Structure 1
Amino acid sequence: MKKIFLVVLYKQKISESKTCISLKENNIQNFNENKIVVWDNSPEVINSQKIANVFFNSENIEFKHTSENLSLSKIYNNVIDNNQDFDFIQILDQDSKIIKENYNSYLNQVFIENSNINIFLPKIYSNQKLYSPGKFFIKGWHFKEINLGINKSRLYTAITSGLCIRLDFLRKTKIRFNEDLSLYCIDTDFIYRVRKFDSRFYVLDLNFIHDLSESSLTDIEKKKRRKVQIEGLEIIYKNNLFCKFLVFIYKELLIKTGRI
């Protein structure tokens, strides 16, 4: 079972990344069927191929650096396109601590036992609330409960961090990450495309904790974020007249209430 573990860094050293430390502690780099791709998206050079190899003490590492802060959608597509002989990719941000004994064996077992499932997701919590998987239609909301294992929902969505994808599924369906989106709504758009072919997903026995709330943002920052999110929704639903109309109504409501 050949797997890629993609870690995207921004202004952080490999040795300080919770994700890189977790992968190393789980000996992911020591299994020959695995490859860790560390993509440094920082404007300044703070890491290198040599540093990556020394940190992981392995040659199963590929390091890339793009100082222009390349969009995440382009990074994801690049790694997928250039690793056609792999079976799975797990996309990770820099601050995901993987706490799971025998993580590599666990993933292999799950993938093999669920050969007809294409999307595998961790549970992601913020302020003790489950944010991913979630539901989304124009606006997102939370699952009240969700079980480990196979689930199905025509409205499910997910945060990209920790997302595992069966690459043969992408090759057959020609699904790609939308490069018209650079940050916000990339994950929403991707799952929206996936659901057109398969509304099933597998919830892994793996939990991540992230700060996803807006409580630390200023009012100006909140308005800016909502504006960018609306622009993302307009891109996602540009070919769906009904949803496009609903996004327009939602946008007008936010404008009227002073939220963007």
Structure 2
Amino acid sequence: MMSSIKILAVIVTYSPEISLLRKTTNFLSKQVDSILLYDNNSQNFKDIASIQLPQNVTIHSCPINKGLPVHYNAAIQYGQENGFDYLLILDQDSSFDDNFLTEYRQNISDDSICLVPLLVHSNKSYNDFYPTKINGKTEPVASSINSGTFLNLKKLPPQIRFDEDLFIDCVDFDFFGKLRKFGFKVLRVNSAKLHISLGNINRFGPFFLYNYSPFRLEKQIRDRIIFIRKHLFSPFAIWLAAFTLFCNAKAVLFEKNRIEKFKAIVKGFAKGLVAKKTRP
């Protein structure tokens, strides 16, 4: 290990690309103390189980797809009960530079509860159109995505957990909102680059299309409706509602499988409206 801090990593999988998962776990196993891999009933779980994983990787197989927050909270509990200092959250399809964790370790600060990476989108056109403004090697930010979050488990109070009403979308919005509410600071390390993909982006005239699957669209809309209901009339909820309408219109008008995606959007909207919700 590169320093005395004890790091736990968590990856939640659902039918992942096996070669990328193998590469990520093999590299990460040399950088952290332990890795928890939670699988959400992947169609290719036999392939996942057949990977010769490093000894510090533990696979937990779930018989149903429970989404992300349940497993993130389980990792937090495991990390706090077993003396880990930090939890690193990663998506199954995110990749990072070799110096990723080195940069995190060098920028750990008592002033912040977590570090987040500089996001680099795999689609160059999208990345160039929405460039990230950088001010220095590190800078405070309001929020980020789940993947790449490096969370201080010693500082995290029991009142702050991931919202298990949600499945996959808005999980990050909700969590970082709780951190801000409690007055915690989030620091972005601009030298720690995380390479991410948003759906399967392509350009259609002036628009970027995300090309999410109908399954993902349904879960996305459901989660966004739940989030909007919880934070009704807040400026961000109003923006999210408008943005969601815009993205749904693009999907139905310009993407492939429009009928299936329209049905998924309607189903997700209905499920979001009737879903029970806890307090924000």
State TM-score, norm by structure 1: 0.72
- On the 8 A contact 1:19/1:93 being kept in 2, the answer is no
Question: How far did 1:180 drift?
Answer: 1.0
Percent identity over the alignment is 21
Per the alignment, residue 40 of structure 1 pairs with 39
Taking the TM superposition and a 5 Å limit, the aligned residue runs for 1:1-260 are 1-12=5-16, 16-25=18-27, 28-30=28-30, 34-44=33-43, 45-46=45-46, 51=50, 54-56=52-54, 58=55, 60-84=56-80, 85-101=83-99, 104-111=101-108, 114-126=109-121, 127-128=123-124, 129=126, 144-147=132-135, 149-153=137-141, 156-171=142-157, 174-196=159-181, 197-212=183-198, 213=201, 215-217=209-211, 227-228=221-222, 230-238=224-232, 242-243=234-235, 246=238, 250=242, 254=245
5+ long unaligned stretches in structure 1: 132-141
Matched residue pairs, number?
232
Instruction: Note the C-alpha offset of 1:200.
Output: 3.6
What SS is found at the alignment partner of 1:4? Answer: strand
User: Is the 2:143–2:186 contact (alpha carbons within 8 Å) kept by the matching residues of 1?
Assistant: no
Measured against aligned partners, the alpha-carbon deviations of 1:137-180 in whole angstroms (never above 9, x if no partner) come to xxxxx675123543234xx2211111111112213x62100111
Shift of residue 228, structure 1, vs aligned partner: 3.3
Query: Pairwise CA RMSD of aligned residues?
Result: 3.7
Q: Deviations over 1:182-223 (max 9, x none)?
A: 111001111111112224423252223323246252898898
**How far apart are residue 97 of structure 1 and its match?**
2.1
**Residue of structure 1 equivalent to 2:256:** none
Q: Alpha-carbon deviation of 1:105?
A: 4.4
Corresponding residue SS for 1:46: helix
Please list every run of 5 or more consecutive structure 2 residues that lacks an aligned counterpart in the other structure: 202-207, 251-264, 266-280
Instruction: After superposition, give the CA deviation of every residue in 1:39-60 in whole Å (9 maximum; x if it has no partner).
Output: 11124542677x56x322x2x2
